[in-house]
Chain A
Amino acid sequence: MSELKSGHRVLTCINCPLGCTLDVEIADGEVVRVTGNTCKRGEVYGRKEVTNPTRIVTSSVFVSGSSTGARTVSCKTASDVPKDKIFDVIDAVRGVTVPCPVHIGDVIVPDAAGCGVDVIATKEVF
């Protein structure tokens, strides 16, 4: 990870749709202050976004043998993954087909793209 540049970074907190504008102050390679947040999550996000940005990745994969005629089931990473791994996770789930029934929380792809995070189903499909 490259050395953090001193100064201010202005970010939009994405943890909830309020979208507070955060001002992250960086000095001597460290985050010294976060302002503009409405709640604690904003501060945590602001610190993380400048040091190690992450995202939840969502997608959908094909199913087979659905009694309701469903073609796909939606899925997500069980927790957030580094931002630069988003495309690797998508590649790992592309082309996957899972047999029905599928339940919320079922593992679709374990340890996707070597991130140590499973991709799990987010819909009940029969």
Chain B
Amino acid sequence: MIYDLIVIGGGPAGLAAASAAHDAGSREILVLERDERLGGILNQCIHNGFGLHTFKEELTGPEYAQRYIDILTGKGIEYKTDTMVLDISSDKDTLIKTVTAVSGSDGLTVYSAYAVVLAMGCRERSRGALNIPGYRPAGIFSAGTAQRLVNIEGYLPGRRVVILGSGDIGLIMARRMTLEGAKVLACAELMPYSGGLKRNIVQCLDDFGIPLLLSHTVTEIRGKERVTGVVISEVGEDRKPIPGTERFYECDTLLLSVGLLPENELSKELGTEISPVTGGPVVSESFETSVPGVFAAGNVLHVHDLVDFVSEEAAAAGAHAAAFAAELKDRAGAPDTELRDRGIEITFDGGPRYTVPQFINPAHVSGPVKVRFRVGSVLKNRVVKVLFDGNCVLSKKRNVMAPGEMEELLLKEELFAGNRGLKEIRISVEEESV
């Protein structure tokens, strides 16, 4: 059989994509999840704050996941857990996709589908990339590993803790470990601003009097068998440690919360074009990658701050994937390649580091298009403008924009209706004129 749609990953993005594809008419949907249960990283995010946008109430991670799992089972969508996808390929002529996966119960299995949604999420940057001098003693964990140890295994990995990096998981773990009886001495952030959400700084650090050391980094890890302490130094504008600012912190644990990277091994082997900025596939307004019929959404595409936005983005991708599958099925293996023109590349200046989507084809727009982006530094008193062939079609005032918080622009369908011959879409961030 040929599935309408195979979703790679059963985390928040995969669940929302599958559910929306079902709503859009797909019936043969298969979700493949590597872990033993659906829900992905939400299962270990036991704190609350999820779902305000999606469900209009504040849920914990596992509760948010369960809402979607219930929706999936309610619709009778097929899923397989404990199943690792090894390879995805797409036939150049028929555009039929082949997904090879392995699981303990089914062994090696090859599935076919008209469309695929990539929803593998992201992974944490590791210490290797950071080159801190010192041995590699026990007691160094990524924040996500510590989160799994405390919340899933019920094991506290340390008593005196320093956190390097102010990513959200690190902030959340500062609070979690403090509540479990550990002493969190400090959170050191290389940049002059936090990588995490403001609310997490308030609730996870300020509430417990944990200092956030901006423009600081760990310059030495001491201890051979187990961490015995770390040296934290202030850094200058060049992000290099300033001699003479070293301070020793006696601790047994160092948590690393230095950023997340989209998980795209499979996407790269499949041949999708990857953005060097986001680390995720380059996509059109339909969340279609450079491989026709392969869609991507959620943290595999670009790292989000909020699961609600992951769900929203993935739902859009799922609906587009369903439409693609229906069309390809209709054409019985003779895809219309003209329809695959991805359109205009969005350009930008004055702040954004990237946009998602990267391309918009005005002829393909059905419904509003949300363009998300992140800025590269903290910007104050700005106006974000969207220019179509040089004409401002949307402008939005922003008092503060920070790299830790994703920005979004809603481009209404009507904007494109009268602009089929559009040549340039530009996002320009300008200083507000007083």
Contacts and interface: CB of A to CB of B under 8 A. Distances in A.
A12 interface: yes
A107 to B, nearest CB: 15
Interface stretch (B26-34, B121-129, B146-154): B146-154
A64 B386 CA distance: 57
Contacts of B49: 17
Contacts of A55: 203, 207
B60 A122 contact: yes
How large, as a class, is the contact surface on chain B? 20 to 34
Interface in B121-171: 150-154
B326 to A, nearest CB: 34
A123 B43 contact: yes
Contacts of A87: 179
Contact of A12 (B36, B43, B201): B201
A90 B145 CA distance: 22
B397 interface: no
A68 B35 CA distance: 13
A113 B412 CA distance: 51
Contacts, number: 81
Interface string A12-26: 111111010000000
Contacts of A62: 154
A5 interface: no
Nearest to A49: B202
Contact of B151 (A57, A72, A104): A72
Interface in A73-91: 74-76, 83, 86-87, 90
Nearest to A68: B36
Contacts of A86: 179, 207
Interface string B288-316: 00000000000000000110000000000
A52 to B, nearest CB: 15
A72 B60 contact: no
A122 B63 contact: yes
B202 A71 contact: no
Contact of A72 (B36, B152, B199): B152
A16 B154 CA distance: 28
A83 B207 contact: yes
A19 B46 contact: no
Given A74-B60, A83-B207, A12 B46 contact: no
B58 interface: yes
Contacts of A90: 179-180
A104 B179 CA distance: 22
B409 to A, nearest CB: 16
B52 interface: yes
A51 interface: no
Nearest to B402: A19
A68 B38 CA distance: 14
Contacts of B58: 56
A11 B201 CA distance: 12
A76 B48 contact: yes
Interface string B66-105: 1000000000000000000000000000000000000000
A17 B179 contact: no
B198 interface: yes
A37 interface: no
Interface in A25-84: 55-62, 68, 71-72, 74-76, 83
Given A56-B58, A59-B179, A72-B154, 11 more contacts: A12-B198, A14-B203, A17-B199, A17-B306, A19-B405, A60-B152, A68-B37, A71-B154, A75-B46, A104-B62, A123-B43
Interface of A: 11-17, 19, 55-62, 68, 71-72, 74-76, 83, 86-87, 90, 104, 122-124
28 contacts: A11-B202, A12-B199, A12-B202, A15-B52, A17-B49, A17-B52, A17-B197, A17-B199, A19-B198, A19-B199, A19-B405, A55-B203, A56-B48, A57-B179, A58-B47, A58-B48, A60-B152, A60-B154, A68-B36, A68-B37, A72-B151, A72-B152, A72-B153, A76-B46, A76-B60, A122-B46, A123-B43, A124-B66
Interface of B: 36-37, 43, 46-49, 52-53, 58-63, 66, 150-154, 179-180, 197-199, 201-203, 207, 305-306, 405
